[in-house]
Amino acid sequence: MKKIVDVNELRVTDIPIVGGKGANLGELTMAGFPVPNAFVLTTAAYDYFLENSDIMDFINSEIASIDRTSDQSLTDCANRIREKFEQIEIPAEFKDEIVKSYNKLFPKGKVGFVAVRSSATAEDLPDASFAGQQETYLNVHGEEDLFDKIIKCWSSLFTARAIAYREKQGYAHEDVKLAVVVQKMVNSEVSGIMFTVDPNSGAKEIVIEAGYGLGEAIVGGEVTPDTYKVDKSTMEVKAKRISTQKWKYTKGKDGKTVKEDIPADMEKVQKIDDLRVKEIAEIGRQIEIHYEKPMDMEWCVEDDKVYIVQARPITAVGDMTTNETVQTEAASEDIITTGLGASPGLASGKVIIYDESMSLDVVKDGDVLVTGMTMPDMVPAMSRAAAIVTDEGGMTCHAAIISRELGTACVVGTGNATSLLSDGMMITVDGTSGTVYKGDLTKKSSSNAAAPAMVCADPVPITGTRIMVN
């Protein structure tokens, strides 16, 4: 098997050797969709790196030593494994191969910027979502920077959240391998994510989220994006939720990714106009037709051109006919705050306000986890929570995706939950409507089911039409 493959040579069937991200980029490129040029270090490259070191014995020993009752034990183990990875050099002859592929992405003599993204062989598969568990590095520049970020991607297969999630899903650690996508960098003016069905309700509409700058702020839940809903039959914009965005990630003068303030007159306006919304939605509709299933994709715009930088099948979709919710007329006076319903269902519990300085062990079974935004390392605590509420984020942030995978009610983008709520408060979270109530209202709820329902999405019909988040 080749250790390096050009993205043009890949198809969706190549997931075992280049992971979901790499295989889907190849499939999109083949189908004529606008994808930035890239190459992929295959799982053979990962195996080659491991075989030229003694690290696997170290990894197995460390994982065997984890105290499964302690999140801190898991975190400490993961840190030791990553430190060991990053002490190892890529063999010199393989460095030469990487440099040749890197140079092909750019005009002769030019050293360009790339995004370096992990692509796990068990990531982006229909039965599980490893969203945010492995690393992505933007604005990587030069050979040494590239080598460093490739190793960091490989080592990110052993973060605490990745180890915990694999064990929960029943994946053997040695069976999950990592490919690395090296993609020409798009310095996005605006970027976002798109679902070709509403992941919360299951409605047959296209949901687009948009924000200024590079898409990592949206994916990471650091900002709350605009949300646009497009009718799939008429391709008309049927609903909008415009957010306030005060800063963005962009490429700084030194080439590094930096935060940049947004002018006050641009903070509260639409991040993309309706024509752009429809253009992006049509690309999404055509990608869904190509794959014959609902899709989740990342997009960005540079120099007035839309690019697709990632696509994957949607792993879980809410069913609006069975989602539990609070009767509005019975609880309107009990509303504390509202946000975006990101994972359907209804749950009550005592609040725990969490920040990064705290141990994950403070979150107990049945607590309602309230935080500014969730981070991938928080997955063990998220799995214990009855519900999750965040200040920031949209339908495609980490909190939303993981909550849908867990079947946990989730409200994101409230803007004020951490300031309005306090530890020990009893609250009810309605993940369908995006509402947080005081008290336990679960017994007053009107529902057709006892728990949130997540179903597989129906495949879309094949038609005769086809046009083709750095």
Task: Report the catalytic residues.
Answer: 398
Angstrom CA distances, 242 to 172, 342, 345, 414, stand at: 43, 16, 24, 13
- CA pseudo-torsion sign 198, 203, 206, 209: negative
Angle between the N-to-C axes of helices 71-85 and 55-64, in degrees from 0 to 180, rounded to the nearest 10? 170
- Specify the 3-state DSSP secondary structure of 183: strand
In angstroms, rounded to a whole number, what is the distance separating the alpha carbons of residues 115 and 314?
23
Give the three-state DSSP class for 346.
Answer: strand
> Residues 421, 371: contact at Cβ < 8 Å?
no
φ and ψ at residue 302, rounded to 5 degrees: -135, 130
245-251, long-range: CB < 8 A, 24+ apart: 245/211, 245/212, 245/271, 247/217, 247/223, 248/211, 248/212, 248/213, 248/214, 248/217, 248/223, 249/138, 249/213, 249/214, 249/216, 249/217, 250/187, 250/213, 250/214, 251/113, 251/139, 251/185, 251/187
**DSSP for residue 176:** -
